[in-house]
Amino acid sequence: MVNKELSPSMFIGVRGRGIISFGSGQPDLPPPKKVLACKAGYDDFKYGLIAGRRELRESLAQEFKKFKATKEDFIVTNGASESLDLAFRAICKPKDKILLHVPYYYSYKPLIEMNHFVPSFVKTNKGKIDIEDFEGKVHDVKAVLINSPSNPTGRLQDIKTLKIIEKVTQDLKIPLISDEVYKDLIYERENYMLSGSQVITINSFSKTFSMCGARVGYLYSKNSGIINKVIQLKTITSMNTNILAQRMAYHATKVPKSFIDSNVKIWKQRRDIIYERMLELGLDVWKPEGAFYILPKIKNPRKFVREMFKKHKVITYLGEWFGADDRVRFSYALDTKEIEEGLKRVGKYLKKN
Ligand SMILES: Cc1ncc(COP(=O)(O)O)c(C=O)c1O
C-alpha cells in the first residue's frame, strides 16, 4: 500500500524534541471556547440515534437551507473518514469503479481497494481536473469522488468544471461524492457546493473547528435510499457517533462566522509565506487556493523525506502516498515562526543535494 520504510503512521502525532512537522493536517489553532467548555453528563454515556443527535442535524439543515435540507438528509459520523467508507459501501458492489482525481487524499485509494472496489483516475493539470479526461472516463464508473479544495494540492476546481461534473453525473445518474472538508478554508473565492439528487456531500468538524480528535463529520444526501443504506451499515458497524463530541459539534455550528473568518485570515497569511519561500527556494509549486497544504516538486522525494526527518528533524509527507510520485506534501498547519525555521532547514538540504 505504501513504501515499507516510510509511511504516514510513522509521523502522525509525532511532536517535540525540536521537530518541525509539516506532516499532519491538524489545525494548530484552538477550537471555539464553547466547544472546549462542553462537559460530559450522564446522557452522554447512553447509546444514541444512529443518524446522530436531532439538534445537531437540525442545525446542519439550517446551514444547508438554500438546498431545502431537512434533518433526515444528514447522518453524523466518526469524522469524514467514516462517511467516505459508508458512502462507498452504500453505493458500490465489488469490482465497481470509482473515479477520482490525482493527486488524491491518501486514504481514498486504499479505502476503495480494501472494499474491493476499483479506483479509476482522472488527470489533472496543476491540480485542476482535465475535463476531457473526466468526460472520457465517467461513463464507465459507478461513482465519482471530488475533493475541492484538495488535500494534498490545496487547489480549487474551477466553478465551470464543477458545474460540468454536476450536470454530467446528474444526466448519467451517477452518484457524485463531494468531500468538502475544506469548504470553509478557501482564500480565493466563495465555496461552490456541488448539489443535486446525485450528490453525497461529506464534511467534517475536524478542520473548520479544529476538532480532529473529537471525530465528528457528516454525510448529506437528498436521496433517502442512500441515507437508509448508510444507516443500515452504521447500525452494524460503529453505531452512534460519540454523543459528547456531537454536543461539541452542535456548539460549533452556533459559533459566529467571525470565528471562521479570522482563522481563514491566519491560514491565508501562512499560505502566502510558505508559497513565497518555496518560490525563493526555486521549487516548482502550485499556489494553494484553499486548505493548508502545498505540494512542491522535489528531486528524489524518498531521500528528501527520510533525510529531512532523520538529519534535520523536519516531517514532510511523500507525494507517492497521494498519487504524486515526484512531489512532497507540506501541511502549513503550524505557526509562521516554525514555517520559516522549517523552510530554512529545507533550504540547507537543497543546497547540498
Ligand atoms: C480530504 C480529506 N477528507 C477526509 C479527511 C478525514 O477527516 P476526518 O478527520 O473528518 O475523518 C481528511 C483529513 O485530513 C481529508 O484531508
Q: Which atom of ligand 1 is nearest to the CA of 83?
A: 11
Helix (H, G, I), strand (E, B) or coil at 168: helix
- 180 with 230, same domain: the answer is yes
Question: Ligand 1 centroid vs 106 CA: distance in angstroms?
Answer: 10
Among 24, 207, 321, residue to substitute to test ligand 1 (most atoms within 8 Å of Cβ): 207
Position 185 in a domain:
yes
Q: Looking at the 3D structure of the chain, how many domains does it have?
A: 2
Residue 2 located in a structural domain: no
Tell me, yes or no, whether 279 and 294 share the same domain.
Answer: yes
Please report, as a single letter, which amino acid is at residue 247.
R
Do the domain assignments include residue 220? Answer: yes
CA 331 – ligand 1 centroid, Å? 13
- If asked whether residues 100 and 232 sit together in one domain, one would say yes
Domain boundary among 201, 236, 253: 253
CA of 206 to the centre of ligand 1 (A): 7
pLDDT digits (tens, 9 = 90+) for 302-335: 999 999 999 999 999 999 999 999 999 999 999 9
Q: What is the Å distance from ligand 1's center to 180 Cα?
A: 9
The DSSP-derived string for 175-202 is -EEEE-TTTT-BSSS------STTEEEE
| Whether 230 and 281 share a structural domain | no
Predicted TM-score (pTM) of the model is 0.95
State pLDDT tens for residues 73-103. 999 999 999 999 999 999 999 999 999 999 9
Q: Flag whether 79 is in a domain.
A: yes
What atom in ligand 1 is closest to the CA of residue 217? 10
Q: Is residue 3 part of a domain?
A: no
Nearest to 257 by CA among 37, 66, 71, 63: 63
Among 217, 236, 253, the domain boundary falls at 253
CA of 169 to the centre of ligand 1 (A): 24
pLDDT of residue 4: 56
Distance 80 CA to ligand 1 centre (A): 6
Determine the pLDDT at residue 317: 96
* 114-144 pLDDT per residue, tens: 999 999 999 999 999 999 999 999 999 999 9
If asked whether residues 338 and 291 sit together in one domain, one would say yes
Binding pocket residue ranges, ligand 1, CB within 6 Å: 25, 79-81, 105, 147, 151, 179, 181, 204, 206, 212, 217
Q: What phi-psi label fits residue 303: left (phi over 0), alpha (psi between -120 and 50 degrees) or beta?
A: alpha
**225 with 153, same domain?**
yes
Per-residue confidence band for 12, with pLDDT thresholds at 50, 70 and 90: confident
| Residue 318 and residue 280 share a domain | yes
User: 1 lies in a domain?
Assistant: no
Q: In the beta sheet, which residues pair with residue 61?
A: none
Q: Looking at ligand 1, which residue's alpha carbon is closest to its atom 7?
A: 80
In this model, does residue 1 exceed pLDDT 70?
no
Domain that holds residue 269: 8-25+257-352
How confident is residue 17, by pLDDT bands cut at 50, 70 and 90?
confident
Q: Closest Cα to atom 16, ligand 1: which residue? A: 151
Per-residue confidence band for 2, with pLDDT thresholds at 50, 70 and 90: very low
What is the CATH number for 261? 3.90.1150.10
* Same domain (yes/no): 192, 48: yes
Show the cell assigned to 64: 444547508
Same domain membership, residue 279 and residue 181? no
The last residue of one of the domains, among 253, 288, 319, is 253
In angstroms, the CA 15 to CA 28 distance is 12
C-alpha cell at 143: 461513482
Cα of 117 vs centre of ligand 1, distance in Å, is 20
- What are the residues whose beta carbons fall under 8 Å from the beta carbon of 50, sequence distance 6 or more? 75, 231, 234, 235, 239, 240
